[in-house]
Amino acid sequence: MKDFESFLTNLTDEELATFIAYRIEDFLEGSRKKIIAEVSKRSLSHLELKQLYEKGLRIDDISNLNCPQCGSDKLFVETDYELRQNGRGNSEIAVESNRCRICGFNPAKSNQKGLINKIKQALGLYEKTRLKRPEIDGRMFT
Ligand SMILES: [Zn+2]
């Protein structure tokens, strides 16, 4: 799992502290050891981690797509396939939403707290849909 190690190495101290606070329980022993190794490499104490986590990553900027839970902008696109009704029946579409790499939160799939986040969710800022690939290809040749 070299990728996981480089992911950890590339986090700022604040991100690492936030990542640990939200996610450490999700990992098995081997990965936890890597997380703890990264903490000792940076010589961070438990108290420092707690302070970094409390300081947080939050950036309150409506124009920026940040995680509403931890404030990180390290989001990745998660794709789900859903059947949706349209005028001609059902079509399968890809729903793309953003999940936070730091705390694992997906704002499109959770109830939102706070007015700004509710507005962002209602505007569909956290979610995009597109036709599933074979349908796009199918339409190209008909
Ligand atoms: Zn987050």
Please say if the pLDDT value at position 123 is more than 90. Answer: no
Mean pLDDT of the region 29-52: 95
Q: Ligand 1 centre and the CA of 76: distance in Å?
A: 11
Q: Ligand 1 centre and the CA of 70: distance in Å?
A: 4
Please say if the pLDDT value at position 97 is more than 80. Answer: yes
Given CA atoms 29, 34, 36, 37 in this order, what sign does their dihedral have? positive
* Residue type at 101 in one-letter notation: R
Residue numbers of the domain that contains 7: 2-55
**Measuring CA to CA, which residue among 119, 134, 130 is closest to residue 93?**
130
DSSP reduced 3-state for 140: helix
Q: 135 and 80: one domain?
A: yes
Q: Which pLDDT belongs to residue 138? A: 52
138: which residues sit within 8 A by CB, 6+ positions away? none
Q: 82 and 111: one domain?
A: yes
**Measuring CA to CA, which residue among 46, 68, 43, 52 is closest to residue 18?**
52
Mean pLDDT of the region 75-96: 84
Q: 83 and 119: one domain?
A: yes
Instruction: Determine, yes or no, domain membership for 46.
Output: yes
The total number of structural domains in the chain stands at 2
Q: Ligand 1 centre and the CA of 57: distance in Å?
A: 9
Instruction: Determine, yes or no, domain membership for 94.
Output: yes
Instruction: Determine, yes or no, domain membership for 112.
Output: yes
Beta bridge partners of 77: 98
Q: 45 and 8: one domain?
A: yes
Report yes or no on whether pTM surpasses 0.85. no
Instruction: Determine, yes or no, domain membership for 86.
Output: yes
What number of other Cβ atoms are within 10 A of residue 23's Cβ? 16
